[in-house]
A = this chain, B = another copy of it.
Amino acid sequence: MSTQLRLHIQKIVSLTDSEFDFVLSHFTVRKFKKHQFLVQEGNYVNNDFWVVKGLVKACYSDMDRKEHIMQFAMEDWWVTDYQAYFNQTKATLNVSCLEDTEVLCLSLENREKICAGLHKIEHFFRKKANAGYMALQRRILSLLNNNAQERYEQFLVQYPALLQRIPKTLIASYLGVSRETLSRLSPS
């Protein structure tokens, strides 16, 4: 599990054993059951979560109790309510488990410590943030450009692994269409 994190980081920067130990010592492990919350709307957000095993969703509930999915996160992905985490404000998103899930938790204080203490880790997180930024840009373009059918097809090729693990209802609310509309899309 710590090996797994090390591999994840080393896709971007290489670390010595002692450097990695330093980094790892700032994380804590936690396990959650399906339906449990990692982050709950209205509460302060103490951690960024790196998913070791399992699957979660981060979503916003609007005034009509309708859910809009900000992101999914499975093995190797990072997730939290970043707005609330970085600004130390109360969450507007809920992050909850779609499966039993194990995560590594990183508090904002510890994130800043390891970034300050190890230039390479600051580099790692900069690269991660850039990659995340690009991914969101692609998603915005997809929302602006493409109709429901096209967005669904893109999702299929982009995240085939998720299809197996997530009910269509949730994919619909990730794509910004009603579940009925998604259901009516012609199987390409």
Contacts and interface: CB of A to CB of B under 8 A. Distances in A.
Range of interface residues on A (Cβ < 8 Å): 20 to 34
A133 B127 CA distance: 12
A125 B125 CA distance: 10
Contacts of A143: 140, 143-144, 176
A123 B138 CA distance: 25
27 contacts: A62-B145, A68-B141, A68-B144, A69-B144, A70-B137, A70-B140, A82-B130, A82-B133, A82-B134, A83-B137, A86-B130, A86-B134, A115-B123, A115-B126, A119-B119, A122-B126, A126-B126, A126-B129, A129-B129, A129-B130, A132-B133, A133-B136, A136-B136, A136-B140, A140-B140, A143-B144, A143-B176
Interface string A93-125: 000000000000000000000011001001101
A144 B71 CA distance: 12
A186 to B, nearest CB: 20
Interface of A is mostly: helix
A90 interface: no
A144 B176 contact: yes
Given A86-B134, A133-B133, A136-B140, A68 B145 contact: yes
Contacts of A62: 145
A139 interface: yes
A130 B78 CA distance: 13
Contacts of A82: 130, 133-134, 137
Given A68-B145, A82-B130, A122-B126, 6 more contacts: A60-B141, A83-B138, A86-B134, A140-B143, A143-B176, A144-B173
B136 A70 contact: no
